[in-house]
Amino acid sequence: MKNGPAGETNSVSHSDTEFKPLPNLTGRKNFITGLLRCIFYSSIAVMIFFIPFSINGTTEILFGYIYNFFIDITGLASVWAIAVLTSLNAAASIYGKYIAPENSRAGRYYKDDTIIHIIIYLAGAVFAVFYSLHVSFAGFAGPAPVVGEDTGEVMSGIALQVLWIIPLGAVFIPLILRYGGIDFVGTLLEPLMRPVFKVPGKSAVDGIASFVSSSSVAVIITNNLYKNNTYTKREAAAIATSFSAVSIGFAAVVISTAGLMDRFLTVYFSSFFIAFLVSAIMVRIPPIAKKPDKYYDGAVQTKKERKQEAKFERILFKKAVKRAAESGYNAGSIFRESGRSLLEGLAVLPKVLCMLTGIGVTCLIIAEYTPVFTWIGMLFVPLLQLFAVPNAAEISPAITVGIAEMFLPVLMIADQVGTIEPAAAYFIAALSMVQIIFFSETGAVMLSTKIPVKVKDLIIIFFLRTLIAIPIVALFMHLLF
């Protein structure tokens, strides 16, 4: 695709080209065919990604069972697969960035990477190899900070999930994106999502996917829609950093660790509400608000498009059905769509794994072996005291450690659950689920995709979300506890 000239408005409206009736959808028969395809494939997607099943006493969505099955049957082989992929990516990045011709495949793949990316790739490969050797050979003892149970072991568990979530998710995601389901939901929610969050209605699907399945899946969906010119740069950045929240399954682990499982619904749904309330503010301030409303192909989104998307219409449901039928009819075969999506997923997988291990282990080492987060947390004590949060001094170190790994805040207060106030435990549990950005997964995945965010952006967004959320979480804490 060719990029349009900078600052020049493309005369073709993306919303018009995406939603106008397509030439080959003529006649009742074609409409019914498209609608039936949409219903069939979307129903499969709902069953895979959104409906929990109870099997042998465990409740999980079908997608969770699928990727956990592959993790279980591959065992140590998956650990070594991560080591091999990260090592190959680290070596290839040096070749592609500094040796290969710019127009070669390797040159194009690594052309946007900087020296910082290369260093992270190399660190990720070294960490992954050390951990693989450590768990494979009794005589090899890797460096404790790299392979310890609170650093390398934690990161390995996350990386193993992502190793299978990305390719398997890529196979099933076209069921959501290509056959009209997202067009139907997006059309119905457009008048709500546009004025409140300044993003298209389709972004609601990203948020739902994150809450019920995986934040990595949500980021991949956002990246796919951005590359397909459905989202602009600003919208993609806003959606990825606002809606890629912790899944309900992992939320249960967080809430249980905080000793609040008896009030699960209260904690979870208040956190859910606060997360979106914070997001409604974040999309209106920098750095997200400063991102350009340009599509991936360089076309500029017009004010007319945004205004049209925010309109409530009496025929909204009819329009949603029509758009769903059009997409369902014009999509390719499931084998073609899934195959293309799988190739895209596999292409980004080595970078994601390198980012995860490189950034994730480094952040966990800082959290575990240095007082950095304790020092930063002390800065928040006066703010917590201002809002009458109990046990302010005891819980303050847990406030910012979530940037490394989302589970760390509640882990840091786990041994104090019996001594600190339940309200204080709620404050940390809720805040950790609202912060969204953590480099052991969502941050690393975002940096490995085409979504237009940088490390600096993610750090700023994390701290802004934290500062905005603190008074809101404190308010809910006083109302609920």
Listed ranges 26-35, 43-52, 70-79; the one with the highest mean pLDDT: 70-79
117, 406, 136, 52: which is closest to 251 by C-alpha?
406
Dump pLDDT digits (tens) for 408-420: 888 788 878 889 9
pLDDT (tens digit, 9 = 90+) per residue, 286-339?
A: 999 999 999 999 999 888 777 765 566 677 888 889 889 998 999 989 999 999
β-partners of residue 58 are 55
Report pLDDT digits (tens) over 70-81. Answer: 999 999 999 999
Cβ count within 10 A of residue 374 = 15
| pLDDT at residue 247 in the model | 67
Q: Quote the crossing angle between the two packed helices 115-136 and 334-369, to the nearest 10°.
A: 80
Out of 16-20, 112-116, 152-156, 263-267, least confident range: 16-20
Name, in order, each residue with C-beta under 8 angstroms of 275's C-beta and a sequence gap of 6 or more: 242, 245, 433, 434, 436
Through-space distance between the first and last CA atoms of the chain, rounded to whole angstroms: 54
Query: Could you give the CA distance from residue 16 to residue 372 in angstroms, rounded to a whole number?
Result: 51
List pLDDT tens digits, range 423-443: 999 999 999 999 989 887 788
Determine the Cα–Cα distance for residues 207 and 273; give it in Å rounded to an integer: 12
| Dihedral sign for Cα atoms in the order 146, 433, 197, 203 | positive
Output Rg (C-alpha) for the chain, integer angstroms: 23
Spatial neighbors of 129 by CB under 8 A, at least 6 apart, are 83, 86, 87
Tell me which of 152 and 177 has the higher pLDDT: 152
DSSP 8-class letter at 217: H
Domain ranges in the chain are: 14-262+285-362, 371-480
Confidence of residue 209 (pLDDT cuts 50, 70, 90): low
- Going by C-alpha positions, the residue among 297, 235, 234 that lies closest to residue 10 is 297
435 close to 403: Cβ distance less than 8 angstroms? yes
pLDDT, residue 257, reads: 78
Question: Which among 464, 446, 474 is positioned nearest to 400, based on CA atoms?
Answer: 464
Q: What is the mean pLDDT of the chain?
A: 85
Locus of tokens 């910082």: 116
Cα 446 from chain centre: 7
